[in-house]
Amino acid sequence: MNELHRQTRAVHPPVPQPTGSRPLGVPIYQGHLFEFEGAEALAEAFGDPYGAPFYSRLGNPTVRALEAALTDLEGGAGAVAAASGMGAINGVLQSLLRTGDHLIAQRSLYGGTYAVFEDLAARWGIEVTYVSGQDPEEVRAALRPNTKVLYLETISNPVVRVADLAALFAVSREAGVVGVVDNTFATPLLCRPLELGADIVVHSTTKFISGHGDVLGGISVYADAERHKAGWAYAVELGAIADPFAAWLTLRGLVTLPLRLERHSANALLLAGKLAAHPAVAHVHYPGLPDHPEHALASRMLSGGFGGMMAIDLVGGRAAGQTFAEAVRVAALAMSLGESKTLVSHPASTSHRMLDTDALAAAGIGAGTVRISVGIEHPDDLWADFSQALDKLS
């Protein structure tokens, strides 16, 4: 390069390629272009989710490291990292569904996913049937010749119902219907849905997997290599692909997920018991409590705890929910979940605002329901905060 002009050398600085050692952490390959020695090698890289990286929308080493990590944790054949959880969900659903298809979904699920189903129905003529998520015969009865997808959440948002994945996906698999499950609340450390019959698992990696409230991301993990390739091909054309720096931040958070999730679960179980005994709380939704309708199922299906998500129904309805959410001081009134800080929100007016009164009731969401994402703070500080906020309701 020394024979070139300085202006040219400035445009072509040396790219380090370490020899004799290797990085212990995943490097950030922030650049989006990769050079090839031959035209044929570049041509061969197209159309292969595992081919040599050439343009970061179709494959980046840092993003692939995240995909490989989640593929391993979920026990899948391949993964596609997305720019957000909704990017992952939309990429999966749009790759599987066509005009006139039929979709079965549980009633208790994330409001954004519900909004996607409504849009698919209005825009593409997709028919949607909602089921409880607990009864396999209800799913069997809902099947039609044009049914293409059964969509569930391992632990539902926001009232933490637990879907009987093995029983429900046994029905969908028998019928040739693709089983998709959102595993965000459980993470692959509490549940591995592919082992229970799911075909595709999606996550908002923004939440527990990243855990620090500083990145948006999503991922879909596929049980089958061919379905993964088809999903990847659609996702890269859709364009909702993870950014390398976002993938790196997610990998950084993943390292501490085992420790954080233990604390999330332990804090949530302790708080759920205390909240259940408080006179201002009408009901606590948490699968770790014996009176939860799926407590026995959760005890069998979840490994290592019941998670950090819960919901409470407050005496006094919507006004009580607003008062409580505004009164907390250690916890924050904020819309995300799964990060180290404790967060509270009012689903009926925020994340599930698109549901009408009947749909809210069917999903188990009341006017006084408050969703709580329990963080990793000291449990005594959290209970003192909740207790003072609840005292303001009397």
Among all residues, which ones are annotated catalytic? 57, 110, 182, 207
With beta carbons less than 8 A apart as the criterion, state whether 53 and 61 touch: yes
The C-alpha atoms of residue 348 and residue 332 are separated, in whole angstroms, by 18
355 burial (CB, 10 Å; 0-12 / 13-18 / 19+) is buried
* CA-CA-CA-CA dihedral for 378, 347, 325, 317, to nearest 10: -120
Q: Which of 185, 159, 111, 153 is nearest to 283 (CA)?
A: 159
Q: Which two tokens stand for residue 391?
A: 């005292």
Please list, in sequence order, all residues whose beta carbon lies within 8 angstroms of the beta carbon of residue 22, skipping any fewer than 6 positions away: none
Q: What is the DSSP letter of 209?
A: T
The C-alpha atoms of residue 78 and residue 148 are separated, in whole angstroms, by 21
Distances (CA, A) of 66 to 140, 190, 207, 253: 36, 19, 15, 11
60 burial (CB, 10 Å; 0-12 / 13-18 / 19+) is buried
